[in-house]
Amino acid sequence: MRVLAAMSGGVDSAVAAARAVEAGHDVVGVHLALSRMPGTLRTGSRGCCTIEDSMDAQRAAATIGIPYYVWDFSERFKADVVDDFIAEYTAGRTPNPCMRCNERIKFAALLEKALALGFDAVCTGHYATIIRDEQGRPELHRAAAWAKDQSYVLGVLTEEQLDHAMFPLGATPSKAEVRAEAAARGLTVAAKPDSHDICFIPDGDTRGWLADRVGASDGPIVERDGTVVGQHAGAHAYTVGQRRGLSIGRPAPDGRPRFVLEVRPKDNTVVVGPKESLAIAELSGQRYTWAGAAPSDMTSPFACTVQIRAHADPVPAAARVVADDDSVGGRLVVAPAEPILGVATGQTAVVYVGTRVLGQCTIDRTVAADVLATTPERESVSGDR
């Protein structure tokens, strides 16, 4: 097969490209330039897509012996990932830019261009596995090493995209083995630190970065009953489940800490309350996809597990698709067996059956356990707590 290897400049993508060559594929390496003004050097393990990363990818391609190119995707990245991130925070939601990047850049824009140029697949260094079912259709599964498993951030991929994806590291038992292999292959990135945090905010100061772009104005911090308990300097800086940095002047009557329960950008208000009010008994989203074949009967509740963060533990749940007046395709509703703490709209809920990623939704509605307990017959509505 003709394979386009996405090379970030890190050790994982370099080894993945090398393994694709070793498997007999015709491989070409490409580095995605995602910023018009990339930093020259990384700050430790923060950030990615710098000039240094591009040079590391180029050296890795030369060592492997494959052609190498840099493709400018900065305009698409800004529109589909950075601007989306700003818009979601402005709307009071908590976005996951890695999900959007995989969905709209690496496995949409990149794959689209790769297929147009005659490539059969895009290869990346993600830790996940693709397994074919009896009909030959692709299924996305967890990696062998659960500590490094990245199937969650790939949960947005569709069957068509999985059909043209390749993850050579999926069966690797540990990152240490990947680094040892890189060193044995003579790759200079063998000991390079992993990148983390949001790639376009390399200093990690999300609050300051957002304030520079959307502005900040003072507003009230209130209890669920509307009692004002403090002031904030910009609602966009807060996210559901946050405890630190609330700067509430007076303690709660019971002396226990407060947590952010809701962010209301329209009236610039942050709602806080006790930890137990973070417990969510139901979550759902109109924007949902299936990673491979959909359930044969998606309207009847089916057993699954749900994961709402990349490194969160999966939680037993029941899921189904229900009718929704605002959406032709309805919405995916997930009811965990036990309430989940700190679920925020804008996050992605990935649904698994065993090791298989069945599908995902962008959460736009949640129902708090205490609300559901008092009115069990009610319909879910956005922001219910």
Question: What amino acid positions are annotated as catalytic residues?
Answer: 101, 199
Place of tokens 């050790």: 11
Place of tokens 């790939």: 154
DSSP 196: B
Contact criterion met (CB below 8 Å) for 9 and 53: yes
Query: 3: part of which helix (H) or strand (E)?
Result: strand 2-6
Contact criterion met (CB below 8 Å) for 66 and 19: no
Read off the amino acid at residue 147.
A
DSSP-derived 3-state class of residue 209 = helix
Q: Which of 36, 60, 59 minimizes the C-alpha distance to 49? A: 36
Burial tier of 17 (Cβ tally within 10 Å: 0-12, 13-18, 19+): buried
The number of helix segments (H) and strand segments (E) in the chain equals 10, 20
Kindly list the distances between the CA atom of residue 140 and the CA atoms of 3, 153, 168, 210, in Å, as whole numbers in the listed order.
19, 11, 13, 34
Write out the two tokens for 364.
Answer: 């736009």
Contact criterion met (CB below 8 Å) for 334 and 283: yes
